[in-house]
Amino acid sequence: MSTAWDPTLYLGFDDQRSRPFHDLLGRIGAPRVGDGAPRRVLDLGCGPGHLTPLLAARWPDAAISASDSSAEMVAAARERGIDAEQADVVDWVPTHDTDVVITNAVLQWVPSHMQLLPRWISALPKGAWFALQVPGNFGAPSHVLTRELATEEQWAGRIALRGTEAVPEPDGYADVLSGAGAEVDAWETTYLHRLSGSDPVLTWISATALRPVRDALDDADYAEFRAQLAPRLRAAYPERPDGTTWFPFRRIFAVAHT
């Protein structure tokens, strides 16, 4: 699914969005330096490049590569000094020295990713690590309410949104990756984000889940769609007495070692 991206909007909740990357990185067993340390580390779907430097810090002797399909994200990454390449995930082929791949909140946008995973694992060198994280919240009110609104008469047939089939459960990833011959660690985590500001859940999903809506509608219609969605989200995620809002967010992780 092609979509335009706004790096500034995406970084609006940087601390909360970055936590899964840190947790995923912590489960990769490649040594920092010395024997067995990775030769090349790839940030596959690097977004604005704000997390890519963590890979260089973790593996200082490795060549660090980064790519993203979004021209806007690649431009933002390059402004940070990341030598990012614009490339579609579906076209990626591991090089002979790619020893670590991390793909964070990317594969949910790639309908064919479950077919790509075995191909990638088979092409990686012996001893490589492949780590992925995807949102597992497509059944959450934030997404269900968006899909329900998109089917109403005013919007029906105008917006293509992903359903709960966008990603499998953790055991689905474990089965595919282990079937390709890798040792697999798969798990899920639900983060309880404490958000503040006006309509914070709407603001959060505007940077991600609503991107296909933004693509499909002109400015006026998009503003109207958001105006209709906002009270539904406020009812599903009520503001607390202190003015903040709890936003549960489930994520799915898998780390494969070839």
Residue 215 lies in a domain: no
Structural domain span for residue 74: 7-138+162-192+246-257
Residue 79 lies in a domain: yes
Sign of CA dihedral 254, 173, 215, 220: negative
Which long-range contacts link 220-227 to residues 24+ away (Cβ below 8 Å)? 225/149, 225/155, 226/202
Q: Write the pLDDT tens digit of every residue in 163-202.
A: 878 899 999 999 999 999 999 999 999 999 999 999 999 9
Q: Write the pLDDT tens digit of every residue in 100-122.
A: 999 999 999 999 999 999 999 99
Residue 224 lies in a domain: no
What is the strand order of the sheet 40-44 is part of? Answer: 84-86, 63-68, 40-44, 98-104, 129-135, 245-257, 183-195
Q: Write the pLDDT tens digit of every residue in 120-146.
A: 999 999 999 999 999 999 999 999 999
Q: Is the pLDDT of residue 56 over 90?
A: yes
Q: What is the pLDDT of residue 1?
A: 44
Residue 149 lies in a domain: no
> Considering the entire predicted model, what is its pTM?
0.93
Q: Write the pLDDT tens digit of every residue in 195-251.
A: 999 999 999 999 889 999 999 999 999 999 999 999 999 999 999 999 999 999 999
Mean pLDDT of 146-161: 95
Q: Is the pLDDT of residue 89 over 50?
A: yes
Q: What is the pLDDT of residue 162?
A: 84
State which amino acid sits at residue 200: P
Residue 60 lies in a domain: yes
CA dist list (Å): 171 to 168, 235, 255? 8, 33, 12
Q: Is the pLDDT of residue 66 over 90?
A: yes
Residue 41 lies in a domain: yes
Higher pLDDT: 10 or 24? It is 24
Q: What is the pLDDT of residue 207?
A: 87
Residue 133 lies in a domain: yes
Q: What is the pLDDT of residue 49?
A: 93
Give the containing element (helix H, strand E) for 233: helix 219-236
Q: Which residue has the tokens 């919007």?
A: 155
Residue 214 lies in a domain: no
> For the chain, how many structural domains are there in total?
1
> Which CATH number goes with the domain that contains 66?
3.40.50.150
Residue count of the chain: 258
